[in-house]
Structure 1
């Protein structure tokens, strides 16, 4: 028996689809893991500029007048990008009372919207070897400039936050400091992922011409880099020696002027193929002979495959 398609029916149908989308979105957001490595920063315009990157605040003895420091003029900007996901449902299916079979599709749309930040963040982490951060160098680079004076002047020392062998580099693993207000990466959100619908043939040429109803998700956001000093990447074998080398390098990072930055390597991020090596490294063995046991949390990231 054919169903009479009325505006009230379509409104109720879309309300059901929207509710399923929102339910799946909220559930999936509870399981995403991008926040382990990235800080959420709201955005209210087309891009956010982060002039303070390159400065680590510190206190000094107050003698005389205050010493005013301008924000470092790096001008690092994260421009919001626009994303969409669109599906169609034939009017015939609604007319034939088959609209309910499309409900799982809206469940998947909600899940996809929830995991989109994860894709952006971890794709950027992988691209850190070839993508510039606030100082103009690639996020993972051998030539990050650190200046002799606290105001960013004087002699320059090149500092590395990566270890890549000249031949036969292996899968990349990452050691991160996630204890600060700004984590190594930034997830910037301009809008929430929202779903809208077009079902009126009088207001939509596509609905009129193709006899389908259109439902779509719209999302404005992007990911960018924070402080390179909070991250170290290696494509050396994941051994105790190479892990120790990465930790020592991070703990030795200084700000301009030579002030220790007190970096704490707290998170070891590995692709699935390095999970076994990572667990052996960070878990105490039966004889208590593993010197690196418990020195970092392990995060096996399937986005790094």
Structure 2
């Protein structure tokens, strides 16, 4: 192919079409776990009420309740992936493989939020984690504890406050009994006034290795207990979400409330959607390096939010 500005534009336009097609073929799971919120600046600050509003018996003058809240800030990160196309490959019409790469790049761009969310699930009992793909990840929520903790204070302003847990570090294999225990504990969580928050878990998150066990717990009509089959009282209480990124920790499982968007445990903050761009003919880089550049970039970040909406269990 004779390299001209118009021929390069046509080639890279084809790459862009393949990139968008690849994005459409991807099956990301992050949008099922995180609440996606738009961002308009370098960072965004979010507030979380410490108490759930409720009505009271009206006797005498109205009682004014001053709402207390906690806040946390999510700073956007830039991300990129760049492809170099050698000049000779274009001249010799041997650039077909780059089209395949553009399609794969589209799939990876669509799943990029997954890459940012997965470390929160995998390492959320720590205060931070350095991920080779997404960089440093802060895992602390508004109360100063890691997102998964045994000692979340009910009222962080009270040094004598009781604590609540959403992390079970050992002895919690995925069994019907443990599922029922964690579910009951999540539904019992309270705010600073002692009022039930109203957590109703609806999703059982597992690794591919535990998909069968999870479905037997929440989908089977009958279940084995004490050597006999009986009606499965947990049938329909949750949907199963299988996440491939949990494969290296196959025994770990999560119970979460995800259908209520306002209470999702993680925020995916989107500043700039993935966009495909190219450096065209005449660029200084192409002259010096004998190749043309195309790539994708985006801005955003993931962070833990409502810890009460998810529990993590280890066997």
TM-score, structure 1 length as denominator? 0.69
Equivalent residue in structure 2 for 1:163, among 168, 183, 186: 168
Describe how 1:50-199 pairs up with structure 2 within 5 A.
50=46, 52-61=47-56, 64=61, 67=64, 69-72=66-69, 74-130=70-126, 131-147=139-155, 155-165=160-170
The answer to whether structure 1 residue 47 and structure 2 residue 43 are counterparts is yes
Q: Which has the higher strand share?
A: 2
Query: Aligned partners of 2:96, 2:210: CA distance in 1, in Å?
Result: 43
Partner of 2:251: none
Q: Aligned partners of 2:111, 2:68: CA distance in 1, in Å?
A: 34
- Give how far 1:60 is off: 2.9
Aligned equivalent of 1:284 = 221
The partner residue of 1:10 within 1, 5, 8 is: 8
Deviation at 1:97, TM superposition (A): 1.8
Shift of 1:78: 1.4
CA RMSD of aligned residues (A): 2.2
**Shift, 1:57, TM fit:** 4.0
CA distance in 1, matches of 2:186, 2:116: 25
Q: Secondary structure at the match of 1:75?
A: strand
> Counterpart of 1:82 in 2: which secondary structure?
strand
Summarize the alignment of residues 132-281 of structure 1 with structure 2, pairs less than 5 Å apart. 132-147=140-155, 155-165=160-170, 236-281=172-217
Does the aligned pair in 2 maintain the 1:4–1:95 contact within 8 Å? yes
Tell me the secondary structure at the aligned position of residue 11 of structure 2.
Answer: helix
Q: Deviations over 1:215-262 (max 9, x none)?
A: xxxxxxxxxxxxxxxxxxxx6111122111101110110111101111
Deviation, 1:128, is 1.2
Superposition map of 1:20-39 within 5 A: 20-28=18-26, 31-39=27-35
Asked if the contact 2:51/2:193 (under 8 Å) is kept, the reply is no
| Structure 1 unmatched ranges of 5 or more | 166-234
The answer to whether the Cα contact below 8 Å between 1:56 and 1:255 also exists between their aligned partners in 2 is yes
Q: Which moved more, 1:155-164 or 1:107-116?
A: 155-164
Q: Which has the higher contact order (CA 8 A, sep 6+)?
A: 2
Consecutive unaligned residues of structure 2, counting only runs of 5 or more, are 127-138, 224-228, 248-315
Task: Figure out how many residues of one structure are paired with residues of the other and give that number.
Answer: 227
Q: TM-score, with normalisation over the residues of structure 2?
A: 0.66
Change (3 A) 1:123 1:238: same
